[in-house]
Chain A
Amino acid sequence: MSETSDAMLAIRDLKVHFPLANGQVVRAVDGVSLTLRPGETVGLVGESGSGKTTVGKTALRLVPATDGEIRIGELDVLNASGRDLRRLRRKAQIIFQDPHSSLNPRMTIRRAVAEGLILNTSLRGRALREKVSETLIAMGLPPQFHDRFPHELSGGQKQRVCIARALVLDPDLLVLDEPTSALDVSVQAQILGVLKDLRAERPSLTQLFISHNLAVIRFLCQRVAVMYLGKIVEEGPVEQVFSDPRHPYTRALLSAVPVPEAGRRPDRTRLTGDIPSPTAVPKGCAFHTRCPVARKGLCDTTPPPRVAAGGGHAALCHFAGEMQTT
């Protein structure tokens, strides 16, 4: 694992807990460490309630952290204030799932994209106009669209506006929270193409891609981290994790993915039951209640160790070393 010094985003032992009125505590994120090197695209995958979105939002300080440390470049995110916080807002951008609710319905898209520049830079007048047009055109929105309002655009076009709005400030870090989940497959393909091209056009841009869709992660990301109940249970290079998963949850997740091919897949690991509530995370390994290989007296009492599998691939499981791909 790379050290904090050369990382673009470094999350150390992050905890985000939400106290409820009845005294219970939702442990949305419960000890997450994740490092993104400059220019890297890392996928964060998990089911609802796994805490993946909370990690993304906390990384940009949109949600207060309970404990831990987050650095974006040299900046201490959780303790930044004043000028530093302003710099953070400029350097780290986020794109959400629903582009419609992320755009002000009363602003033309030109205005929406210009706003960040007006707040953060001294660009005005013609220079501002040109920068905005240039960015929108680069995202595949020709000039005739620039004075339209969000409701006059399709879902895919609106998501392009959101991407343009994030990129116009030349951020170092881009957090993408399910950016294609609300789109049809043919439109999703366009947006995924735009995002993949970014990697070539802006080699220093670091992307944290949050999604529940494993096929999309496989297409776009170099590394992947799998979350379950507030913890990263497995991480590593995408190819390695997908072809040789070491955590039983990752194996189950991969075998549950609907594959666009005829014929049912024989190698199915099925999980029984639902994800436990994050207010009552099971003791020991949080996954033991649904795990097909859990052992009594071990998995339900002792938190699993982090077992490295080489090449930055590691899993949080007592049996990670014994897992063999069949």
Chain B
Amino acid sequence: MAPLLDIRDLSLVFDTFDGTYHAIDKVSLQLKPGEALGLVGETGCGKSVLTRAAFGLVPVPPARITSGSVRLDGRELLGLSDRALRGIRGSEVAMIFQDPMTYLNPVFRVGTQLVDAIRAQSGGRIGKAEAKSIALDMLDKVHLPNPDRQFRAYPHELSGGMRQRVLIAMALAAKPKLLIADEPTTALDVTIQAQILDLMAELVEDLGLAMIMISHDLGVVAQVCSRVAVMYAGKIVEDAPIGRIFDAPAHPYTQGLLAALPHPFKPVDRLASIPGTLPDLLHPPAGCRFAGRCAQAHAACAAPVPLRAVGPQHRVACTLYEDAAPEGAAHV
């Protein structure tokens, strides 16, 4: 199947007073229609910047895209005008974020904002009455209790979970092909998080929606996604089906992340921690960016390490697996 989203060799730098900060380095990532991918990594790994840069949401300057291409349904997005990108965002690609309150205007009713968004997404083809019926329909789809009443509510009258449902309704009203969810449940309580994750899993399945869920929490990703890409210091270090990530993590960083997680239902005596800190991305190492913290690093890690296939749909950027697959099998 042709990929819905095809990011190839994308590199992005930020020009700062201290020098050039290499935030994203030659990242390639493909997403099939209807696929739910978890993009996982710690603070500063570039997971949010990557997805924003792909859709023209990182301000240039200070950012600069130095190489690569981003294709959505075969159409190149890099270099498109702001106007053309605005037509794609909202209608073909939608995003939801961590803090739903920040993305709702506090002085307008929820319904007004939904109707405005739906009309804008349609490019003005949809009238007010039709937009309202779509909005109510969407509020019902995201299981918001009493859609008629909430339609007239102001954002502050809703709880955090309800606001996130409103934003999901707004994002999906135009029937986008791809949803980017950036830490959508991080600000929510555990029981509410579980409700929202259930809803997202249901919508992905019912609407045949492709999704990239950005999260620092492998447990959250496991509830919704079928595949995981792990990022470290601006690079994807491992990309695998969800089962493989948990049962047979290949990259030492992925292994370290998993060993650092306390488990709610298993007694764990000690947690492994990853020694050291992130490399300085003003002067990134030429080779593996994790080598400085890796117990298994050796001489070969000083040279650039591409992603290589180590199993079905399983790619890893690590010299430990150099011989597992022939060159050129990297982009499957």
Cβ of B197 < 8 Å from any Cβ of A?
A: yes
Interface centre among B191, B195, B259, B268 (most CB of A within 10 A): B191
Q: CA A262 – CA B223 in complex, angstroms?
A: 8
Beta-carbon contact of B270 and A193 below 8 Å: yes
Residues of A participating in the B interface, judged by any CB pair closer than 8 Å: 47-48, 154, 184-190, 192-193, 196, 212-216, 218-219, 239, 242-243, 252-264, 268, 270-275
Beta-carbon contact of B267 and A239 below 8 Å: yes
CB pairs A–B below 8 angstroms (7 shown): A186-B273, A239-B267, A242-B264, A256-B193, A257-B219, A270-B195, A270-B198
Beta-carbon contact of A259 and B273 below 8 Å: no
Beta-carbon contact of A212 and B261 below 8 Å: no
Cβ of B9 < 8 Å from any Cβ of A?
A: no
Minimal beta-carbon separation of B273 from chain A (angstroms): 4
Minimal beta-carbon separation of B88 from chain A (angstroms): 32
Beta-carbon contact of B262 and A253 below 8 Å: no
Q: Is the interface of B mostly helix, strand, loop or mixed?
A: helix
Q: CA A260 – CA B162 in complex, angstroms?
A: 26
Minimal beta-carbon separation of A22 from chain B (angstroms): 15
Chain B residue at minimum C-beta to C-beta distance from A216: B262
Q: CA A258 – CA B242 in complex, angstroms?
A: 14
Cβ of B287 < 8 Å from any Cβ of A?
A: no
Chain A residue at minimum C-beta to C-beta distance from B187: A48
Query: Which 10 A-B pairs have CB atoms at the shortest separation, nearest pair first?
Result: A258-B219, A256-B194, A189-B260, A219-B262, A47-B189, A189-B273, A189-B271, A184-B42, A215-B262, A262-B243
Q: Collect the chain A residues with CB atoms within 8 Å of residue B192's CB.
A: 47, 274
Interface centre among B192, B198, B220 (most CB of A within 10 A): B192
Given A186, A218, A242, A274, which contacts B260 in the complex, CB threshold below 8 Å?
A: A186
Minimal beta-carbon separation of A301 from chain B (angstroms): 24
Given B159, B193, B274, which contacts A258 in the complex, CB threshold below 8 Å?
A: B193
Cβ of B245 < 8 Å from any Cβ of A?
A: yes
Q: CA A57 – CA B209 in complex, angstroms?
A: 46
Beta-carbon contact of A193 and B261 below 8 Å: no
Beta-carbon contact of A260 and B261 below 8 Å: yes
Minimal beta-carbon separation of A19 from chain B (angstroms): 22
Query: If A154-B277, A193-B271 touch, does A253 touch B216 (CB 8 Å cutoff)?
Result: no
Interface centre among A253, A256, A268, A270 (most CB of B within 10 A): A256
CB interface residues, B 257-285, toward A, < 8 Å: 257-265, 267-268, 270-274, 277
Beta-carbon contact of A259 and B219 below 8 Å: yes
Q: Collect the chain A residues with CB atoms within 8 Å of residue B223's CB.
A: 258, 264
Q: Collect the chain A residues with CB atoms within 8 Å of residue B198's CB.
A: 270
Q: CA A264 – CA B220 in complex, angstroms?
A: 11
Cβ of B247 < 8 Å from any Cβ of A?
A: yes
Contact pattern, B 32-59, Cβ under 8 Å of A = 1, otherwise 0:
0000000000110000000000000000
Query: If A185-B260, A253-B191 touch, does A258 touch B220 (CB 8 Å cutoff)?
Result: yes
- Interface size range on B against A: 35 or more
Q: Collect the chain A residues with CB atoms within 8 Å of residue B43's CB.
A: 184
Q: CA A186 – CA B257 in complex, angstroms?
A: 6
Q: CA A271 – CA B145 in complex, angstroms?
A: 14
Q: Collect the chain B residues with CB atoms within 8 Å of residue A189's CB.
A: 259-262, 271-274
Given A48, A252, A258, A274, which contacts B162 in the complex, CB threshold below 8 Å?
A: A274
Q: CA A319 – CA B299 in complex, angstroms?
A: 63
Chain B residue at minimum C-beta to C-beta distance from A264: B223
Beta-carbon contact of A261 and B222 below 8 Å: yes
Given A185, A259, A263, A273, which contacts B263 in the complex, CB threshold below 8 Å?
A: A259
Q: Collect the chain B residues with CB atoms within 8 Å of residue A154's CB.
A: 277
Q: Collect the chain B residues with CB atoms within 8 Å of residue A185's CB.
A: 42, 216-217, 257, 260-261
Cβ of B218 < 8 Å from any Cβ of A?
A: yes
Cβ of B161 < 8 Å from any Cβ of A?
A: yes
Interface centre among A186, A259, A271 (most CB of B within 10 A): A186
Minimal beta-carbon separation of A68 from chain B (angstroms): 26
Beta-carbon contact of B264 and A186 below 8 Å: no
Minimal beta-carbon separation of A285 from chain B (angstroms): 17
Q: Collect the chain A residues with CB atoms within 8 Å of residue B154's CB.
A: none
Given B190, B222, B265, which contacts A256 in the complex, CB threshold below 8 Å?
A: B190
Beta-carbon contact of A261 and B260 below 8 Å: no
Given A193, A253, A264, A268, which contacts B273 in the complex, CB threshold below 8 Å?
A: A193
Beta-carbon contact of A214 and B277 below 8 Å: no
Q: Collect the chain B residues with CB atoms within 8 Å of residue A218's CB.
A: 262-265, 267-268
Interface centre among A213, A263, A272, A274 (most CB of B within 10 A): A274
Q: Collect the chain B residues with CB atoms within 8 Å of residue A186's CB.
A: 42, 256-257, 260, 273-274
Query: If A186-B257, A258-B222, A275-B189 touch, does A215 touch B264 (CB 8 Å cutoff)?
Result: yes
Q: Collect the chain A residues with CB atoms within 8 Å of residue B161's CB.
A: 274
Q: CA A256 – CA B220 in complex, angstroms?
A: 10
Minimal beta-carbon separation of B35 from chain A (angstroms): 16
Beta-carbon contact of B191 and A192 below 8 Å: no
Q: CA A212 – CA B191 in complex, angstroms?
A: 11
Beta-carbon contact of A259 and B265 below 8 Å: yes
Extra inter-chain contacts (17) besides given A190-B273, A258-B193, A259-B219, CB under 8 Å: A47-B191, A186-B256, A189-B261, A193-B270, A193-B273, A213-B262, A218-B264, A218-B265, A255-B194, A256-B190, A260-B218, A260-B258, A264-B201, A268-B194, A270-B194, A272-B195, A274-B161
Query: If A185-B257, A186-B260 touch, does A219 touch B219 (CB 8 Å cutoff)?
Result: no
Chain B residue at minimum C-beta to C-beta distance from A243: B265
Q: CA A60 – CA B273 in complex, angstroms?
A: 32
Q: Collect the chain B residues with CB atoms within 8 Å of residue A256's CB.
A: 190-191, 193-194
Minimal beta-carbon separation of B98 from chain A (angstroms): 14
Cβ of B321 < 8 Å from any Cβ of A?
A: no
